[in-house]
Chains A and B, each alone.
Chain A
């Protein structure tokens, strides 16, 4: 496998950013990691994961769809779409890498979401294998190997060098563009590191959580479960879980009157919000219980029902860490599960 010494990472990033925009996770002052556009001198974060997921790159929180310009009583419609620039997201973890597969199923299915596709086509995802998974991780539950992430290209560290391999043509093109910096390397030590990581993954508190009892065919078992009341009673109805989630893909479309025109934009919505999917007749889910149920039923039942058994969760653990009242999909699965 091709590799580069870890102390030459700066050189690697400089080379990538010379030809296209590069995003890497960096540490913020408060210790949290976030993706930043690479500028010389930036250091790759060693954090397990970024606070916000990587979905922003393809599905940003707000996105302008179309403009209406108003002159007196006339309205002109302006298409604001532009071809996206090429960019690389480096250091995506296995869970987030899988989340793109899930988002693709939504946005690239017919009718294709051209805004999403535009970015997806121009973005190269370079993943990074995990070496220090934490207690909130449960990617294994969804068949994700944290030590062998997906993506256009994947990186692995053995503590000294960074190994890199392509998974597809886009990944190969990426590697080709930086090949002058790479050399062939021995993966023996790397394999040991990966084995160790896999050992740790097995020891994690959520290692035994499975989706065996969930899936598209479980609607009736769970929809009317009497557990929902208890599970949702302390839910604040905030959107933290949905906004840190790499797979939540619901959005709202709104018009903003700028005074001289209308900007029609979409922004993330949360099924936890009281006006979620509000329609002319009103709101289909009137109570927090219903909204709460929607979120988990969607991830564990509805999504697999519509997508060949694929679950709408990747086990990144962000919601476990961030929910203000510590209610999350793991607790829901454990409480709900009928074996």
Chain B
């Protein structure tokens, strides 16, 4: 029997962060020594709009338990409009994953500015906890990639 809150489960979280806001926000949470779990691994992208849905699925295929996308707040995109496209793309993608019965809480988009180090850390803590509760990703994994 699996325990419901999955206390001992260590989820793998992939975070895509835009270079200008969220990656800097993540740096700031480091500068301010704000803790968040080691489960979170960050990939730097120029803009949240660089994140292809294929990357997200790829992460799930390879064993990620949660994928979070961070970008500048709407209106603050370094490239003007990138995050607006991200928002539409990800809304539709997440909706589709939900439609296929994939747990909603495994994916998330969060707007984190370069000044929001505290928000970044809080978001990562929260998201990791939410994914931990869900347990291992089984519905969108590739069995061939499962660690032996």
Contacts and interface: CB of A to CB of B under 8 A. Distances in A.
Query: CB atoms of A and B under 8 A apart anywhere in the complex?
Result: yes
B144 A260 contact: no
B50 interface: no
A256 B147 contact: no
11 contacts: A256-B144, A258-B142, A258-B144, A258-B145, A259-B62, A259-B63, A259-B145, A260-B145, A260-B147, A260-B148, A263-B144
A259 B148 CA distance: 12
Nearest to B142: A258
A25 B74 CA distance: 56
A304 to B, nearest CB: 39
Interface string A40-59: 00000000000000000000
Interface string A240-276: 0000000000000000101110010000000000000
What size tier do the contact residues of chain A reach? under 10
Contacts of B62: 259
Contacts of B144: 256, 258, 263
Interface in B92-148: 142, 144-145, 147-148
Contacts of A258: 142, 144-145
Interface residues of B, number: 7
A259 B62 CA distance: 7
A260 B148 CA distance: 9
Nearest to A69: B148
- The 10 A-B residue pairs with the shortest CB-CB distance, nearest first, are A258-B145, A258-B144, A259-B145, A259-B62, A263-B144, A256-B144, A260-B147, A259-B63, A260-B148, A258-B142
Nearest to B144: A258
Interface of A: 256, 258-260, 263
A221 to B, nearest CB: 47
A66 to B, nearest CB: 14
Contacts of A263: 144
Contacts of A259: 62-63, 145
A263 B145 CA distance: 10
A255 to B, nearest CB: 12
Contacts of B148: 260
A259 B142 CA distance: 11
Nearest to B62: A259
Q: Which residue, of B63, B142, B144, has the highest number of chain A Cβ atoms within 10 A? A: B144
A263 B63 CA distance: 16
A259 B59 CA distance: 11
A198 B116 CA distance: 81
Contacts of A256: 144
Given A259-B145, A260-B145, A260-B147, 8 more contacts: A256-B144, A258-B142, A258-B144, A258-B145, A259-B62, A259-B63, A260-B148, A263-B144
A20 B144 CA distance: 27
A326 B138 CA distance: 39
Q: Which residue, of A256, A258, A260, A263, has the highest number of chain B Cβ atoms within 10 A? A: A258
A264 to B, nearest CB: 12
Interface string B44-86: 0000000000000000001100000000000000000000000
A230 B148 CA distance: 53
B63 to A, nearest CB: 7
Nearest to A260: B147
A71 to B, nearest CB: 12
B107 to A, nearest CB: 21
A263 B146 CA distance: 12
B141 to A, nearest CB: 11
B60 to A, nearest CB: 13
A126 B60 CA distance: 42
A256 B145 CA distance: 9
A263 B143 CA distance: 12
Nearest to A256: B144
B62 to A, nearest CB: 6
A10 to B, nearest CB: 34
A256 B144 CA distance: 9
Contacts of B145: 258-260
Contacts of A260: 145, 147-148
Nearest to B63: A259
B110 to A, nearest CB: 27
A258 B63 CA distance: 10
